[in-house]
Amino acid sequence: MATSPMKTIGAGELRAQNAGETVTLAGWVARRRDHGGVIFIDLRDASGIVQVVLNPDEAPASEEVLHGLRSEYCIQVTGTVRPRPEGTANQELPTGAVELAAHGLVVLSPSAPLPFQIDERVDIDEGLRLQYRYLDMRRTRMAGNLRARSAAIGAMRRVMDRGDFLEVETPTLIASTPEGARDMLVPSRLRPGHFYALPQSPQLFKQLLMIGGVERYYQLAKCYRDEDFRADRQIEFTQLDFEGSFWGQDEVLDVLEQIVVEVVQELRGEEIELPIARISYADAMEKYGTDKPDLRFGMEIVDLSDLFADTEFKAFAGVLGSQGTVRGINGGALGLARSGLDRLVERAQELGARGLVWMIVQEDGSLRSPVAKFLSEREIAAIKGAFDASPGDTLLIVADEAKVVTSVLGQLRLTVGQPEDSDELAFVFVLDFPVFDVNDDGSLSPAHHPFTAPADVDELASNPETAISQSYDLVLNGSELGSGSVRIHDPEIQAKVFEVMNIGAEDARSRFGWFLEALRYGTPPHAGFAIGVDRMVSILRGEPNIREIIPFPKTQTGADPLTGSPGRVEEDQLFQLGIDVRPEVRIGWAEAEEDAGA
Ligand code: ASP
């Protein structure tokens, strides 16, 4: 750590070989213990913790200072480093062999009583942690996460530098870019009634950079998406965004592999073996029921439709007779009691299945199952063969239309499946996404943004439901880390894609006319990707949520308990922006204030 006259070395840097040196430390009082007049302090700074001993006979600090010291006071201590007395070394601390015998102590800044203890072992309400984030980050967990985030970004930059990528900042006050979410809007004072959008990603700007002859671009880009806080999302997050010209998919995946290797090495000291596994979207859906498969365990979905073609079991026969399918997973030795099995059936129903059939393979090879009596010997043998089942295994089977079956089994797989080694990292590229997702009502919505190149333009026009795009995701342990694609570089194809996507020619011209115009000037073929930095770091750190990685995140309702954003603004500001807040919204404000007793 860089030093100054106020602080000559980091507290966490002291080791046995520093014994005898006189040093000045500065940091915070993490713990203070009074042992019959001699005071022990754990002094913490950004580099770690060291024990400081204040013996009133040796330290000239006033009694008042010594006894007035409280947790989290910011202090400066000068003293001599010495080995700890025989038998008192602390193996858990890197500085545990030494202590600082203080001769002088200055309180740089006292601390108000704390809203919570700065202690890893104490469970603190997240709202309070966010309100006092600056105190929360004095705790080891957050301090470590901030360092890991910085180290990950450093590793990413090294890969970008090695590849001669140019770092370019793109604006954050822009016209809307479609990434599939709602835009965050910023009103313009100079053009009242007009709005900027905050970028959902730098997508179109990075494509303009390719048109502009920047052949390799990257940026650590802030992106904004006004989404409901489903799952683990934030309105504001950071992507490593990159793009290359004269590139196809292979070049993008190659850079991604280098990033994965470098970041994992940096954060976990582990070697990731290349190449990273690849699976097509179609295979991922078929085998794992999801486009972000967790490959830390197998448990693939098995199609049993042929096996049950002539079954006497009415439920399966009925589904198969109406174009449905029967599939299942071998959950392994789950050892569930009846109540546990019933819960799985309920779960399958919640997920949209009409039912779930379970079968447990007995020691004698027979099947225990509510439907066993409807199954022939031949079917039982074939089921066990299809699942490669051994005694003790629990087989879970769903019959319905294919979309329901794969989705339900995919989620049940995650409910019952356990990675053997919870530290394992299973990266996989999912390739060849469809151009469109088919919604439940049969309508189509773009699976990626509309600048993604289709694999075959004619196919897109004739069979939009099944057309494949040149797009790919990077998945880690069942979470999507990011996505990218080969882009359209021909303005005519771009116009055609807009058309198929139901963005009319007029609409496309008014929203993206400037971009269609740019595509006309010798656009190079190009491709790229964006990785969610916070998500990648959160998984590598074993954190359950990206809020643990983002220095100042928002809550589930998009609020910041620290600064109180989003907040109301002065009437005058609204007036200047030409904005009038609707009366019913104002009534809502008044009611909320009354509820809060204001
Ligand atoms: N802009 C895309 C996204 O944010 C990534 C990409 O296609 O490069 O998901």
Decide whether any atom of ligand 1 lies within 6 Å of the 485 Cβ: yes
Decide whether any atom of ligand 1 lies within 6 Å of the 369 Cβ: no
Q: From the first residue on, what is the mean pLDDT of each consecutive set of 10 residues in the chain (598 residues)?
A: 88 97 97 88 96 83 74 96 94 96 94 92 90 96 97 98 98 82 92 94 97 98 87 90 98 98 98 97 97 96 94 92 95 93 95 94 94 92 95 96 95 93 94 89 83 91 91 97 97 87 81 92 98 98 95 92 94 94 89 77
Say what the pLDDT of residue 267 is: 98
Nearest C-alpha to atom 4 of ligand 1 is from which residue?
201
Which long-range contacts (C-beta less than 8 Å, at least 24 apart) are formed by 365-373?
Answer: 365/391, 367/395, 371/313, 371/315
Nearest C-alpha to atom 1 of ligand 1 is from which residue?
203
Decide whether any atom of ligand 1 lies within 6 Å of the 529 Cβ: yes
Same domain for 91 and 157? no
Decide whether any atom of ligand 1 lies within 6 Å of the 484 Cβ: yes
Final residue in a domain of this structure, among 83, 109, 135: 109
Decide whether any atom of ligand 1 lies within 6 Å of the 179 Cβ: yes
DSSP letter for 513, please.
H
Domain assignment present for residue 554? The answer is no
User: What separation in Å is there between the alpha carbon of 49 and the centre of ligand 1?
Assistant: 42
Same domain for 147 and 267? yes
Same domain for 311 and 391? yes
Same domain for 405 and 528? no
Same domain for 198 and 218? yes
Same domain for 277 and 147? yes
Decide whether any atom of ligand 1 lies within 6 Å of the 331 Cβ: no
Alpha helices in 467-504 (DSSP H): 491-500
Q: Kindly give the number of the ligand 1 atom that is closest to the alpha carbon of 223.
A: 4
Same domain for 327 and 450? no
Domain assignment present for residue 3? The answer is no
Domain assignment present for residue 132? The answer is no
Say what the pLDDT of residue 385 is: 96
Residue to mutate, 252, 452, 483, 526, ligand 1, most ligand atoms under 8 Å from C-beta: 483
Same domain for 149 and 274? yes
Q: What is the pTM of this model?
A: 0.93
Say what the pLDDT of residue 446 is: 81
User: What separation in Å is there between the alpha carbon of 449 and the centre of ligand 1?
Assistant: 8
DSSP H or E run through 538: helix 533-540
The angle at the Cα of 445, spanning 327 to 281, to the nearest 5 degrees, equals: 40
Say what the pLDDT of residue 598 is: 55
Place of tokens 């006894």: 67
User: What separation in Å is there between the alpha carbon of 201 and the centre of ligand 1?
Assistant: 6
User: What separation in Å is there between the alpha carbon of 359 and the centre of ligand 1?
Assistant: 43
Residue to mutate, 227, 241, 245, 249, ligand 1, most ligand atoms under 8 Å from C-beta: 241
Say what the pLDDT of residue 64 is: 65
Would you say 395 and 381 are in contact if contact means Cβ atoms under 8 Å apart? no
d(CA 91, CA 183): 52
Same domain for 233 and 306? no
Say what the pLDDT of residue 140 is: 93
Domain assignment present for residue 176? The answer is yes
User: What separation in Å is there between the alpha carbon of 430 and the centre of ligand 1?
Assistant: 15
Decide whether any atom of ligand 1 lies within 6 Å of the 332 Cβ: no
User: What separation in Å is there between the alpha carbon of 483 and the centre of ligand 1?
Assistant: 6
Q: For 411-452, give the secondary structure using H, E and C.
A: HHHHHHCCCCCCCCCCEEEEECCECEEECCCCCEEECCCCCE
Same domain for 447 and 355? no
Say what the pLDDT of residue 383 is: 95
DSSP letter for 561, please.
T
Would you say 348 and 408 are in contact if contact means Cβ atoms under 8 Å apart? yes
Same domain for 75 and 102? yes
Decide whether any atom of ligand 1 lies within 6 Å of the 201 Cβ: yes
Decide whether any atom of ligand 1 lies within 6 Å of the 406 Cβ: no
Number of domains in the chain: 4
CA 479 to chain centre: 7
Say what the pLDDT of residue 248 is: 97
User: What separation in Å is there between the alpha carbon of 414 and the centre of ligand 1?
Assistant: 27
Q: Kindly give the number of the ligand 1 atom that is closest to the alpha carbon of 241.
A: 8
Domain assignment present for residue 127? The answer is no
User: What separation in Å is there between the alpha carbon of 516 and the centre of ligand 1?
Assistant: 19
Alpha helices in 163-313 (DSSP H): 203-211, 249-268, 281-288
Q: Kindly give the number of the ligand 1 atom that is closest to the alpha carbon of 528.
A: 8
CA distances from 311 to 38, 271, 326, 366 (A): 83, 50, 11, 18
Residue to mutate, 201, 220, 251, ligand 1, most ligand atoms under 8 Å from C-beta: 201
Nearest C-alpha to atom 9 of ligand 1 is from which residue?
483
Same domain for 409 and 524? no
Say what the pLDDT of residue 36 is: 79
Nearest C-alpha to atom 7 of ligand 1 is from which residue?
484
Q: Which structural domain range is residue 359 located in?
A: 298-417
